[in-house]
Structure 1
Amino acid sequence: MHTSLLKGLLTLIPLWGTCLLAYEVKTPPLDTDWTYSVGTHPWPEHPRPLLQRSHWQSLNGIWKWRRASSSTDPPPDSEAAQSDILVPSCIESGLSGVMEQDTIYSWYSTEFTVPKGFAERGRRVLLNFEAVDHQATVLVNGDQVGIHVGGYWQFTFDITDHLSSNGTNRLQVLVFDPTDGDGAMNPVGKQTRRPSHIFYTPCSGIWQSVWLESVPSTYIQQLDVTADMSGQVNVTVASNGESDPVTVSVIDSEGNEVASAKGVANQPFDFTVDSPELWSPDSPTLYNLTIKLGGDTVCSYTGFRTLSIGEIDGIKRPLLNGEFVFQFGTLDQGFWPDGLHTPPNREAMVFDLKVLKSLGVNMLRKHIKVETALFYQACDQLGLLLIQDMPSMPLRTPNAAQQAEWERQLEILIKQHRNYPSIYTWVIYNEGWGQIQNGYYPEFGLTDRVKALDPTRFVDATSGWNDHGAGDWHDNHHYANPQCGTPFYSLQSTPYDRNRISIQGEFGGIGHNVSEEHLWKVQAAINTINQTYEIDEDLDAYNYRGHLLMSELREQVEKYACSGAVWTQTTDVEGEVNGFLTYDRRILRLDREQWRADIQALYDAAATRGGKSSSKRRAPEPL
C-alpha cells in the first residue's frame, strides 16, 4: 500500500467502535519499512517473558496527552488534552503522533476496564510499566498510587483498592524528564536536548509497554535463577508473603519435565538437572520453567551456562562453559528513526539481531541504553552474547547525591536483568562519562557491589578511558585501528594489563555517506557527518577498509592477547554514517561473503590460541 494512503487511513481507525481517532503518525526525518504498519495496538506480546502469567491485559494504544508547565499542574480533564499519543512511544518520535521537543513536564491519561475475575475472590490487580523516562507520578481515579524515578526500569503498583465500582477507571501519569538540561544528572546515555553527531534526539515519556495483571493475594514478585554447566540450579522466589512453599519444574524444548524441586519463598534453594544441554551462541538451548506458590503460577525460562576466567598459555581468557570463546560483535545503540528508543515492533527489533547473526556475529554491546525485555529474550533465543552497559550520566562530574542516585539505578539494572542467559558482562562506566576522577575512583567499590549482586558474570568497570585497574576486562577504544591486548597503545588508553582479559571495546567506525533518501533529514545532523572517524566514498572502498581493519584485528588475535572486539556499529544513527546498516535499515553496506569470512577468520585465529574450535560453529541464522 502506498505510504501516504496508509498514513491517511490511520486517522480513520475507530476506537472501541464509537469514535474516530485523531492519532496520526507524524512524518519523522526518516522512516523505516515498519513505520506505517505499527497500528494503534502496538507491542501485543507479553512484556515480561521471565515472569509470565495468563491473566494480563495490555493498556498500550491511543492515550490523551498534553504538556504541563510544572510538577504542580493539576491533572487535566479529557477535554483539555492537547493531542492523542501512541503508548508506548517517545514523545519526540514520529510514531508518537506528537513529535515535539523539549517537553519537560507532560500529562498522559486513558480509561480502562478491568476484565471480569481480575479483582474477584481476593485477587489483586497490578499496574505494570516497563519504562517511563524519567519520573512518573501515577494516579488511578484521582488517587496517587505511586511515584517512580528512573527512565529505564520496570515498576509496578497494586491498584486494587483504587479501582472504580462502575467498571470504568481513569489512569493518569505525570511525566518529568529534564534529560541533560541545566543541572540534571540522570542516567541518559546518548540522549541530549541538543543533538550533535554521537549524541541523539532524546526519548521522553512512556516508551515501553503498560499493562494490567491479576494475581492472588499472595503472589510471586520476582524470580532469580542461575543455572550452570554442571546442571546446578539456584532459585530465589521473592513473594509478598513469608515462608510459603514453592515448587519449580524444568521443562525441555519437547515439553518433557526434566527436573522439579521444592523450596520456600524468599529463601534461596538448589537442585540439579542431569546432563543439561548447554546454552552458547552456537547452541542457544533454553529450558522453560514453571513456578508455583499457592494459587500463583508463573512461567519463565533459563539457560545452562557458566562464565569464568581461565589462563591459557599465560594469557587471561574469558571462558564460556569451560572454553575460550572469542567474542566479536557490534556497538548496538538501539535507536530508531521513527521510534527513537522504541522500535516500531518486535519484527523490526529482531531484524537487526538476525542480520548480525547471519554474518556470524556472536556478541553485541548494548551501548549505554537498556532495552525491552523482549529484546533480551530474542538474544537468548538467537544465541547472541550481550555486553550490557549502564546508561551514563551527562558529561559532567556528579555531586554526592547525584552519584548515590546513579548507583541506586545501577543496582536496579543488575537486579532486573541478571536472569537473561545472553548477558555476560556488565559495563559500569563508558569513556569516563559521569565518572568521578577527583579524590577517589568509585569503580573499585562499584565493581565489588556488582559482583555481590551477580557473581556469575564479568564486570567491565571502565570501557575506554580512565582505567585504573578495576574489573575483569582491560578495555581499549581506538579508531579506526584495533589495539587489542597489544604492546602498543594510544592517547587516553592504558598499556595492556596482563592481569585482566583484553577486549577491543570499540574500534572501526569507518563511514560511508549515502543519498539523502537514507539520511536523518535534519540539517544539523547532516552537518556533523564529516566528524566521522573516516569517510569512504563508495562501498568498494568501505569494504576494502573493513577487510584491512578486520585483518589487523585477526593478526592481533594470533600474535597478542586479544579475546574480543566490538565494531562500531550496528546501524547509522542521526549524524553518524558508520553502521553496517543505514539508519532506516534499508541498505546493508557489507559485502556479505567478505565479512562472513573475515569474522570467521577471527574465530579460527582464536582456535590456534586455545579457543573453541571454529568447526563447531553452526550455520548462520536465516533472515
Structure 2
Amino acid sequence: MRSLAFLSTLLASATIATSTLLTRYANDTGYKLQTGPLDTPWTAEVGTNPWPEHPRPKVQRSQWKNLNGVWRWRNVTAGQVNSPPTGQTLERSVLVPSCLESALSGKSFISVVPGHLYSWYQTTFDIPSNWPTGNRVLINFGAVDYEATVFVNGKEVGFHRGGYFEFTFDVTDYLSTNGTNELLVHAFDPTDTERYQIPIGKQTLTREGMIWYTPCTGIWQTVWLESTPSEYIMKLDLAAGADGYDGSTPYEITVHELGSDAAKATATGNSGSPFVFKVDSPDLWTPSTPTLYNITVQLGSDSVSSYTGFRTISRGVIDGVQRPLLNGEFEFFWSPLDQGFWPDGIYTPPTVEAMRYDLEKLKEVGFNAVRKHIKVEPALYYKAADELGFLIIQDMPSLRPELPDPNNTCGTIQLEGPDAQQEFNRQLGLLVEQLKSYTSIFAWTIYNEGWGQATDASQPWPEFELTDLVRSLDPTRLVNAVSGWTDHTAGDFDDNHHYSTPQCGSPFWSVQGSGPSGYNSAYDPSRIGLQGEFGGVGQQLPFEHAWFDDLAKQTAYELTNTTETWNYRSIQNIVQLREQIERYACSGGVWTQTTDVEGEVNGLLSYDRRINRMDKELWTSTIQSLYDAAAKRGNSSVAITERNDGLAGLQDVFP
C-alpha cells in the first residue's frame, strides 16, 4: 500500500482464493418490525431493504452492491471472537443497519443488558457476474458500535475499533470463485460498563437523568461491496476555497456544473504530490446560496464521482471584535443543538427522507447552521446539509463525563488514564479525516462540558495539543476546543453554556467556578463569542407523542404549560441573544434543541416528528432579526487575523 498526500491508491494482486460453497439460507426468515414506545411517520416505510441509496457521496463508484437487509444474529459471551460460527445458521433475524436496541432491528424492544456486549452477525452474498474479472472487491462499513472483527468464508479479514467511523477491507483473496460467500461480523460494545471510557456521546446503559439516552449496539450504518481495479482511489480529500482553488491531488480531475456533463474545469496532476488547480469564477457556497459542483476523478482505470462547494472559512476582527468569517464576511451562526436520535432507530434514522426532514424544518424558519452534538451521522446527512445550506459545528463524540475514583469511594475522576486519552485522540483524528471534505463543516468541537477532559493541573491541558492536531489535519476550519466548561483558552471560540437565558460574548457570567479553570467566566475578547447551548424550554406532551407515558418523566430545563407559552418563552430568550449581538460580542447561538429525545421534551419538534411547536411566522421573523443585528455589527472593514484553509490569504481574494 502506498499513501499519497491527498489521494491514496492501493496496489494489490488480483488473485482470487477459493472457499467452500455455502448453502444459501433465507435472510428474511423471521424478521418482524417491533413495536417500541414511539414510532415516526417513516417507521412503516423501512421494510427489509433499508437505506438503498449509495452511502458514500464523496467517493462513489458505479459498480457497487448494497448488503443491507435482514441478516442473522446471535448473542454470545466474551472470548468467542476467535471461534466464528462458520457454516451455521444463527438463531435470530436482525435488520442491518439498525441499533440492536431499536424497534427497527426486529428484536424485541428491550433494555440492553451486559449479555448483549458481544454478538455475531451473519449474511451471505454473491459477486455480480458483470463485475470485471481481475478487479478487487472491497467491503465497506459505515459504522459498527464499538469494535468489529470481520470474517469472510471463515477467514478473518480485518478488525476495526471506533463506533462512529467508516472502514474498508479488501476481501478479494477470501472470496469463493463462483458461488455464495458467508460474511460474519463479531461486534463488541461495552458502552459505559465497568470502567470502560470510550467515545459514546449520549449513550448509557443506565439511562438515569434527563440528558442520557438509549444506547446503540452493533451495525448501525450501511454495509456495501465495491469493485475496483487493482490500483484504485482509496480516499479523496477536497478543500475548495472561495478563491476558486481546489486542494485535492487526483491524477485527473474534472469539475462540472450540477446537472451538466459540460466541464467547467479540468486538470491533471501527478500522484504522490500536492495538487492545486483553479476554477474560474465559481459561484460561491453559502447557507442562502448552497451552490455545489460535481467532480469526476480518474486514476488509471478507476473512476469516482464526487462534488464540492467553493467557500472559505476563517477568523477576523471586525470593529474590534473577533468574528467567524465565511467568504471573508461575518456570518452569524444560528443553530439548534442536534442530537440525532430517533424513537424507532435510536442512532439510525428510519430513512434518508426522515433524516432530511429535520433539516428542512429548520431551514423553513431560517436556521443557517447545526451543532451536531457528540454524534457522527451517516455520510448522506452531510450531503443533505451541503445541499440545503447549513454550517455544521461537528462535535467529537465524548467520553463518559466521570468515573468513580478508585482511591476515594466518595469521589470521581474525569479521565481513566493515558490509554483512554490516546484512544480518544486517535478517534478524533478519524473524525476529521472522514468528514473534512464536506462543504458544510464549519468547525470542530473537541470536548463538550469537560466530559472526559483531563483537568489535572500538574499536566499540560490536552485541548491545546488536540487543537494543534485538528488544525494539522484540517487547516480549513475553525476549532471549538471546549464547548461550555473548563475553558483554558484553547481554540477559536469562547463558548458559554447557560440554561435558560444566554450569556454570549458578554461581561456577565454564571458563578460556577472562577478563572480559566472554572466552568464559565466572562467573555475572552481574544476569541469568538459563542453561546454553545441555551434555551432548553420544554412542554409536556400527550402520551401518544411521548416516549414516556408518565408526566413525571417528561422534563426539561424549564417547562411551559401550552404551546403558545412555549413560543413566548423561547422567543423571549432569543431576543436576549439578539440584544447581546447588538451590545456585546456575540457571534453565534445554539438553541437546545431540534427534537425531543426520550424524556427530554425541549425540542422544536416532538420526538416522533409529528408535532412542530414553532409558530413559523414568529420564529422566522425573530431569527431574521438576529441576522439583521449581526449585519449592523459586521459592516466595518475586516482585518484578517487567521487564515484557516492553507491556501492564499483572504486579502488577495477580497481586496
TM-score (norm 1): 0.92
> 2:437 aligns to what?
419
Cα distance in 2, alignment partners of residues 585 and 78 from structure 1 = 43
> 1:171 aligns to what?
183
**Which residue identity is paired with 1:128?**
N
8 Å Cα contact 1:64/1:78 also seen in 2? no
Q: Give the one of 88, 94, 105 matched to 1:96.
A: 105
**Which residue identity is paired with 1:459?**
V
Structure 1: gaps of 5 or more residues: 1-15, 238-245, 613-623
> 1:195 aligns to what?
207
> 1:29 aligns to what?
37
- Classify 1:377/1:19 alpha carbon distance in 2 versus 1 (closer, same or farther; 3 Å): closer
Cα distance in 1, alignment partners of residues 388 and 562 from structure 2 = 32
SS of equivalent residue, structure 2 residue 276 = strand
Q: Give the one of 506, 511, 516 matched to 2:533.
A: 506
**1:254 to partner: Cα distance:** 4.4
**Which residue identity is paired with 1:587?**
I
> 1:5 aligns to what?
none
Cα distance in 2, alignment partners of residues 64 and 455 from structure 1 = 44
Cα distance in 2, alignment partners of residues 25 and 540 from structure 1 = 37
Cα distance in 2, alignment partners of residues 194 and 78 from structure 1 = 36
Cα distance in 2, alignment partners of residues 279 and 20 from structure 1 = 44
Q: Give the one of 304, 317, 322 matched to 2:310.
A: 304
**1:412 to partner: Cα distance:** 0.4
Q: Give the one of 235, 248, 254 matched to 1:249.
A: 254
8 Å Cα contact 1:224/1:235 also seen in 2? yes
1:213 maps to 2:226: yes
**1:118 to partner: Cα distance:** 2.9
Q: Give the one of 531, 534, 545 matched to 1:518.
A: 545
**1:267 to partner: Cα distance:** 2.1
Q: How many residues align?
A: 585
Q: Give the one of 440, 454, 461 matched to 1:441.
A: 461
> 1:544 aligns to what?
568
Cα distance in 1, alignment partners of residues 40 and 472 from structure 2 = 42
Cα distance in 2, alignment partners of residues 87 and 254 from structure 1 = 32
SS of equivalent residue, structure 1 residue 269 = coil
Cα distance in 1, alignment partners of residues 27 and 426 from structure 2 = 45
Cα distance in 1, alignment partners of residues 553 and 611 from structure 2 = 21
1:557 maps to 2:581: yes
SS of equivalent residue, structure 1 residue 450 = helix
- Classify 1:593/1:78 alpha carbon distance in 2 versus 1 (closer, same or farther; 3 Å): farther
- Classify 1:267/1:558 alpha carbon distance in 2 versus 1 (closer, same or farther; 3 Å): same
> 1:40 aligns to what?
48
**1:17 to partner: Cα distance:** 11
Structure 2: gaps of 5 or more residues: 1-23, 403-414, 513-518, 637-655
Residue deviations 1:516-545 (CA, integer Å, cap 9, x gap): 11111376xx64434x21000111111110
1:223 maps to 2:241: no
8 Å Cα contact 1:71/1:105 also seen in 2? no
Residue deviations 1:279-313 (CA, integer Å, cap 9, x gap): 00010000111000000000000110001111111
- Classify 1:257/1:161 alpha carbon distance in 2 versus 1 (closer, same or farther; 3 Å): same
8 Å Cα contact 1:137/1:175 also seen in 2? yes
Over the residues paired in the alignment, what is the CA RMSD in angstroms?
Answer: 1.5
1:75 maps to 2:84: yes
1:529 maps to 2:554: yes
Cα distance in 2, alignment partners of residues 527 and 32 from structure 1 = 23
Cα distance in 2, alignment partners of residues 611 and 145 from structure 1 = 57
SS of equivalent residue, structure 1 residue 447 = helix
> 1:603 aligns to what?
627
> 1:236 aligns to what?
249
**1:186 to partner: Cα distance:** 1.1
Cα distance in 2, alignment partners of residues 225 and 443 from structure 1 = 26
Query: More displaced, 214-223 or 267-276?
Result: 267-276
1:87 maps to 2:96: yes
**1:278 to partner: Cα distance:** 0.3
SS of equivalent residue, structure 2 residue 249 = strand
Q: Give the one of 472, 486, 492 matched to 1:452.
A: 472
Cα distance in 2, alignment partners of residues 20 and 432 from structure 1 = 45
**Which residue identity is paired with 2:242?**
M
> 1:401 aligns to what?
419
> 1:116 aligns to what?
129
Residue deviations 1:311-359 (CA, integer Å, cap 9, x gap): 1110011110011111111000000000000000001000000000001
- Classify 1:595/1:470 alpha carbon distance in 2 versus 1 (closer, same or farther; 3 Å): same
Cα distance in 2, alignment partners of residues 42 and 450 from structure 1 = 34
**Which residue identity is paired with 1:48?**
R
SS of equivalent residue, structure 2 residue 626 = helix
**1:41 to partner: Cα distance:** 0.7
Query: Percent of pairs identical after alignment?
Result: 55
8 Å Cα contact 2:548/2:554 also seen in 1? no
Residue deviations 1:215-262 (CA, integer Å, cap 9, x gap): 00000000111111111111134xxxxxxxx10001112412111111
Residue deviations 1:361-400 (CA, integer Å, cap 9, x gap): 0001000000000000000000011000000011121310
Cα distance in 2, alignment partners of residues 407 and 454 from structure 1 = 15
Q: Aligned runs of 1:109-508 on 2, under 5 Å?
A: 109-118=122-131, 120=133, 122-196=134-208, 197-237=210-250, 246-255=251-260, 256-396=262-402, 397-438=415-456, 439-490=459-510, 491=512, 492-508=519-535
8 Å Cα contact 1:251/1:259 also seen in 2? yes
SS of equivalent residue, structure 2 residue 577 = helix
**Which residue identity is paired with 2:288?**
D
Residue deviations 1:23-63 (CA, integer Å, cap 9, x gap): 00110111011111101011011010000000000000000
Residue deviations 1:79-133 (CA, integer Å, cap 9, x gap): 552310000000000000013423100000001101114361x210000001000
**1:183 to partner: Cα distance:** 1.2
Cα distance in 1, alignment partners of residues 635 and 580 from structure 2 = 14
Cα distance in 1, alignment partners of residues 577 and 451 from structure 2 = 27
> 2:648 aligns to what?
none
**1:570 to partner: Cα distance:** 0.1
**1:264 to partner: Cα distance:** 1.8
Cα distance in 1, alignment partners of residues 106 and 635 from structure 2 = 50
Cα distance in 2, alignment partners of residues 585 and 487 from structure 1 = 38
> 1:578 aligns to what?
602
**Which residue identity is paired with 2:524?**
D
Query: More displaced, 558-567 or 79-88?
Result: 79-88
8 Å Cα contact 1:527/1:575 also seen in 2? no
8 Å Cα contact 2:548/2:599 also seen in 1? no
- Classify 1:473/1:521 alpha carbon distance in 2 versus 1 (closer, same or farther; 3 Å): same
**1:410 to partner: Cα distance:** 0.2
Q: Give the one of 596, 609, 613 matched to 1:589.
A: 613
Cα distance in 1, alignment partners of residues 46 and 88 from structure 2 = 26
**Which residue identity is paired with 1:409?**
Q
**1:165 to partner: Cα distance:** 2.4
**1:167 to partner: Cα distance:** 1.2
> 2:6 aligns to what?
none
Cα distance in 1, alignment partners of residues 548 and 559 from structure 2 = 19
> 2:411 aligns to what?
none
**Which residue identity is paired with 1:160?**
T
**Which residue identity is paired with 1:462?**
V
**Which residue identity is paired with 2:468?**
D
